[in-house]
Structure 1
Amino acid sequence: MYRIAVTSQNFRTITPHAGRTRRFLVYQGAPGGTPELVDRLDLPKEQALHDWGNKDGHPVFEMEAVLCGSCGRNFVAKLAKRGVDAVATNETDPEKAVRDYLMGQLSHAEVHDHSC
């Protein structure tokens, strides 16, 4: 069973700037299955991943994937070191994005050279 965090500052749509995001919708689902919303993370400012550094213990590090509207290469690399797949997408509907990810059909957006 996968746990997938989706960046969503408004808890309704996928939002950009993954490294600065402090609000995430957390879904659970199996590959090819239907995702279920299981949690909402509303983290304090110091837990934005951009500022977290390389410390252990961030709740996002417990996910199998993070889906976001935009992110930088450093963000992708930082999460990859923790075994988390970071995927930027143009999809704005969180549940559809997670469903597509679980089916291996999520459309990817360009990852930026800068961190965000």
Structure 2
Amino acid sequence: MTNRSVFAVLNTGKSMRIAVTSQNFRTITGHAGKSRRFIVYEADSDGRPKEVERLDLPMELSLHEYHGEDHPLFELALNGIVTQGAGNGFLQRMARHGIQVYTTSATDPLQAVSAILAGQPLPAAAPHTHDHGTDKGEHRHG
């Protein structure tokens, strides 16, 4: 979602909702597909983020494991997800649901969401590598 579309959402009077991957509910964490914990923010009428919900999903509901279209994240009317890393499959799946993924090296959830809502860039994320080994079902992430 571009800055222009962030402002377009806010100007329609609709809520801007952004989830942040946070396995410890304190910092932004990586590998969005494996994440089971999310902090959900909604922009108030002045465009400031307010925490409105926390998701603490069981392992079988990580997006890496669960492939149904009725995932709890998709029921939250999200506009975006902030994470420190995401693979192509995650990016494509979110795009199908109209959810913009923001990858960043930032660690503070509130500051990252505030920056997005203010139209400011986030610090770039470290490169994501996703290696599926060929021996004995190896599956590595870098």
Give the 3-state SS of the residue equivalent to 1:13 in structure 2: coil
Quote the Cα distance in structure 2 between the aligned partners of 1:84 and 1:92.
Answer: 21
What stretches of structure 2 of length at least 5 have no aligned partner? 1-14, 132-140
Of structures 1 and 2, the one scoring higher in RCO (CA 8 A, sep 6+) is 1
CA distance in 2, matches of 1:66, 1:86: 5
**Aligned residue for 2:104?**
89
1:114 aligns with 2:127: no
- Pair 1:58 & 2:71 matched: yes
Task: Find the structure with the greater CA-based Rg.
Answer: 2
SS at match of 1:37: strand
Q: 1:104 Cα deviation (Å)?
A: 2.0
CA contact (8 A) 1:74 1:114 kept: no
Aligned length in residues: 115
How far has the Cα of 1:30 moved from its partner? Answer: 5.5
What is the rounded CA distance, in whole Å, between the counterparts of 1:70 and 1:20 in structure 2?
10
Measured after TM superposition, the shift of residue 112 of structure 1 is 2.9
| Structure 1, gaps ≥5 residues long | none
Q: What RMSD, in angstroms, separates the aligned Cα atoms of the two structures?
A: 2.0
| Equivalent residues of 1:71, 1:88 under 8 A apart | yes
Deviation at 1:31, TM superposition (A): 9.1
Are the counterparts in 1 of residues 25 and 37 from structure 2 also a CA contact under 8 Å?
A: yes
Shift of 1:23: 0.3
TM-score, normalised via structure 1 length:
0.88
Write the distance in 2 (CA, Å) between the matches of 1:9 and 1:25: 9
Name the % identity.
Answer: 44
Deviation at 1:83, TM superposition (A): 0.5
Deviation at 1:114, TM superposition (A): 2.8
The residue identity in structure 2 corresponding to 1:35 is P
